Amino acid sequence: MGIMRFNYRSQAIGQYVDITITIPTDGFSYYDISGGARHHTLPNANHVMPVYRPGMKFQTVYLMHGGGDDDSLVFRYTNAERYADRNRVMLVVPNVANSFGVDTNYGRNYSTFITEELPVVIQSLFPSSPAREDNFIVGYAMGGNAALGNALMHPELYRACVDMSGGIGLTVNTETLKNELESEHFSHFPIYLSTFGPSDELEGSRHDMALAARRNLERGVELPDFHIICGSDEFIRERVEADVRTLREIGYQINYICPEGYRHDFDLWDKYLQVVFDELLPLRRAAIDPVS
């Protein structure tokens, strides 16, 4: 797997931002080895290897990290790189800080960054396919809500969305977020308040996911596949399952998975990242040849 940490100035965020990018390289050859290997190949390679072709593209998974994490942590705490490589997809993990993946009320436009700026940059500078059917958004914890919210706001961008353990931040139960913003508990979490703003201004705002979800159905837009995962022992299970119920009541098809014995930690997220790549996402598991 090729891996790099890319840093550039984001217009949407207003500062330089780190992004970790992986590109599947294990299993590709720079020449046709069918006539007999001339140089080293992969250990124990017993099959014909596909050849690099100028202009080839890959399907791409945008992975949103959790609160307090950054773009590097998922590679230190999970095997996401290995799961992406064996399924031959690019993996793009942007550092979205503690932004909840939204255009914040304090002026940092992370949703704009995720859905408008980042795809253009990645598809322009790296071998990422621009086709909707080749792009996916996945997240865990805070990043799960970011994935779900941005997929609801921009269903035209993604073939599938996976929300793992998304129990803080964006929700289709607007009253829940209003109550959190007014609660004593969240009064000690100033970034939450400054991100979403006054509770009485939430309905109808850019943070109103219930409104976005209903508008999608009213307009008849093509929706991504939605998968929501929450461990049976997670402290945010009730909030996650409320989102599942509400989306289903609105009219969404939701694949909900609740594995027994898992809590809100990387034991769950590593295990189910493997499931996401190997089973849930509709992947080609092959490079996309350039158009001749």
- Cα separations in angstroms, 121 against 56, 116, 125, 187, 191: 17, 9, 6, 37, 28
Q: Could you list the residue range(s) of the whole structural domain that residue 203 is in?
A: 7-33+47-280
As given in the structure block, the two tokens for residue 174 are: 């607007």
Rounded CA-CA distance 234/80 in Å is 22
Helix, strand, coil percentages (3-state) for the chain, rounded to 5, are 40, 20, 40
Predicted pLDDT at 188: 80
pLDDT band at 79 (very low <50, low <70, confident <90, very high): very high
In a domain, 228, yes or no: yes
pLDDT at 88 over 90: yes
In a domain, 109, yes or no: yes
Predicted pLDDT at 253: 97
pLDDT band at 82 (very low <50, low <70, confident <90, very high): very high
In a domain, 171, yes or no: yes
In a domain, 205, yes or no: yes
> Do residues 173 and 164 make contact, with C-beta atoms less than 8 angstroms apart?
no
Mean pLDDT across the chain = 94
Rounded CA-CA distance 63/146 in Å is 10
Span 126-168, pLDDT tens digits: 999 999 999 999 999 999 999 999 999 999 999 999 999 998 8
Higher confidence at residue 249 or residue 184?
Answer: 249
> Do residues 233 and 227 make contact, with C-beta atoms less than 8 angstroms apart?
no
In a domain, 285, yes or no: no
Length in residues, the chain: 292
Overall number of domains in the chain: 1
pLDDT at 42 over 70: no
In a domain, 95, yes or no: yes
**Mean pLDDT for the stretch of residues 203-224:** 96
In a domain, 235, yes or no: yes
Span 215-273, pLDDT tens digits: 999 999 999 999 999 999 999 999 999 999 999 999 999 999 999 999 999 999 999 99
| Strands of the chain, DSSP E | 2-10, 15-23, 59-64, 89-94, 135-140, 160-164, 225-229, 254-257
Task: Give pTM, 2 decimals.
Answer: 0.95
Rounded CA-CA distance 223/92 in Å is 22
| 3-class DSSP state of 62 | strand
266: domain CATH number is 3.40.50.1820
Predicted pLDDT at 187: 80
Full DSSP string of 81-112: HHHHHHTTEEEEEE--TTSTTSB-TTS-BHHH
pLDDT at 56 over 60: yes
In a domain, 186, yes or no: yes
Full DSSP string of 102-141: SB-TTS-BHHHIIIIIHHHHHHHHSSB--SGGGEEEEEET
Dmax over CA atoms of the chain, in Å, equals 70
Percent of the chain with pLDDT over 70: 95
CA atoms within 13 A on the CB side of 238: 2
Closest CA to 138 of 89, 176, 174: 89
